Structure 1
């Protein structure tokens, strides 16, 4: 059997390949991709901003798929839920070794031997493709009955990333004031979690009106345009929250200048959580004295753990009728249109773009 896949053969060089589709190995699974989420990280990977990749690679690390075939010995997902061909699943896209210090002692991801990509000519779990081949020990989870695939795909790896950030840096407490830098999928996920946790204020900074509008629908109490001068943005935030400033600032912009602004915006005794700067390599100046005077805690998180994907899936399914998650999927592209999907994501034209293999 053959299938199509979007292959990155070099920086900014995308091709559509016809590839062999392999039966699953024992303990693994073969799924037909229903939706492959387009992530801002994919843009950084494509351009080379995220560093050198092991080309050629199949793009896509967010996926909702339908089980086609289960490998020998597989009768349940990684939460113990029975599965069969035809069931819809999501998967944690990092292949962990389960035999290293990070895996077995720290219980942290990624591990020393993590595989994020496989050569495009080999069995592969990239989601910009007709099929995804999930190796043994790559966790996958059955969608709850009634879960809308678009609602789960809308926040892709962003919602797991936000959940991991709060795992590592502390949760949103009832009554907290929260500022979110950026209203892409990571920022929208942060808005959703903060609002559902009972934050009294959730203020979002972004340049795209459509994204700011989506943030309000997910629970943002106010928005601030990135088109305003930085000092004006801070004034608006402090006028609304109070002179103590926000309790939590979340960087979800993926742009280096957001970092010093986030430090500046942060309130006294607050937390600054860095989630979006995985792919933006570089430095920015800050005043260390600000950290001391504010008693500011700065933490970062990336590469969600399997449990974060499971909890994100459950969370999305639970709130899918309360908040318009599925509506966040603003653009759909076929496998051969991946370059357009990445451009729409890079420019902010799309609130959330997906690869839909059913589109020819």
Structure 2
């Protein structure tokens, strides 16, 4: 095909407003280490919704193209472009990609932790009015920068699964790794019944937890959590005190060995501390919003709890998320997480629908129209 010089993209110009479909320029040439990709699938993430609403913002970020969970086919590739495992990439290859890292800062060189890169770059944080313009998922084409960690995708992992692996799934798997994994037969509580919470429920179940309790709302999401491995569910509509009490009842009064925050509501901290059992672990994953409610330090001390923070994930977590879907493809109804795909012109409606908890994982396929 002829290499395009511009692309349609759904652009966010003001928080809370409809996305506008605009024509954005593409780089005139593809530099070494980079690729130009035709987007096949973008799955919307909770972060997209928080940015759209303005819950997550910073000066100068708009206008921008949303979408950081995406899969596409290479239509042009720069010299020497390889994926994270050193495999040469060529036109026609199906790839996903993770955020770029600089390889030079303290986080990259001393900590050797890509998540700690001080110049870590997400495609969806690229302004759409300056080069390279279109690096995110809600577009016909995306420019994948040289520093972005690219991954050649196995054919048996579906587009939707591979897209979700790019953020939601890798974030959850990193959280479990940071927690030290799941001890077989243990009690696990998942706070949150969105895409991350339901996926975390599945991971806990497949990892051999004895009891998995998913805490969240609405009822339809909790029903989905049951289909993905929750032994019990607790509706947060009952209020914090009743929610904690119910979790304690479901864990024989002992509390949970592992509690994971995938919700981010202000109340999750004190609830998690109260739900956790003696020498339990609480992993904070979803609290990206405002400051949470105060927690009891004396309770943390008295229970000898371990509190762990976990931020997103890196290319290693992304690879493991792809392998997770490949290994457990037939174990759970993964396709239930995703809505029917729509075209780019309907992306704005899907953002609003996800914001209203109408869908778990909206899917945009720009090829639809």
Quickly name the TM-score band, shorter chain normalised: over 0.9
Equivalent residue of 2:148, what SS? coil
* Counterpart check, 1:243 vs 2:253: yes
Which residue does the alignment assign to 1:11?
15
Task: Verify the 8 A CA contact 1:263 1:272 in the aligned structure 2.
Answer: yes
* Counterpart check, 1:321 vs 2:330: yes
Which residue does the alignment assign to 1:176?
186
**1:212-291 map, 5 Å:** 212-278=222-288, 280-291=289-300
Which residue does the alignment assign to 1:31?
37
Which residue does the alignment assign to 2:144?
134
- Unmatched tracts of structure 2, length 5 or more: none
Q: Deviations over 1:97-140 (max 9, x none)?
A: 11011001102213112223222132232111111111112111
Shift of 1:82: 4.6
Shift of 1:186: 1.2
* Counterpart check, 1:299 vs 2:316: no
TM, length-normalised to structure 2: 0.91
Which residue does the alignment assign to 1:337?
346
Which residue does the alignment assign to 2:127?
119
In 1, Cα distance between equivalents of 2:127 and 2:239: 45
Task: Verify the 8 A CA contact 1:181 1:187 in the aligned structure 2.
Answer: yes
**1:61-140 map, 5 Å:** 61-74=68-81, 76-92=82-98, 94-108=99-113, 109-116=115-122, 117-121=125-129, 122-123=131-132, 124-140=134-150
Which residue does the alignment assign to 1:47?
53
Shift of 1:87: 2.3
Q: Deviations over 1:255-303 (max 9, x none)?
A: 222222122211111111111112x122312221111111111111113
Task: Verify the 8 A CA contact 2:174 2:313 in the aligned structure 1.
Answer: yes
Shift of 1:243: 1.9
In 1, Cα distance between equivalents of 2:22 and 2:169: 30
In 1, Cα distance between equivalents of 2:329 and 2:87: 21
Task: Verify the 8 A CA contact 1:6 1:129 in the aligned structure 2.
Answer: yes
Farther off after superposition, 200-209 or 164-173: 164-173
Equivalent residue of 1:113, what SS? coil
Farther off after superposition, 265-274 or 255-264: 255-264
Q: Which runs of 4+ in 1 moved over 6 A?
A: none
In 1, Cα distance between equivalents of 2:41 and 2:221: 21
Aligned length in residues? 357
RMSD: 1.8
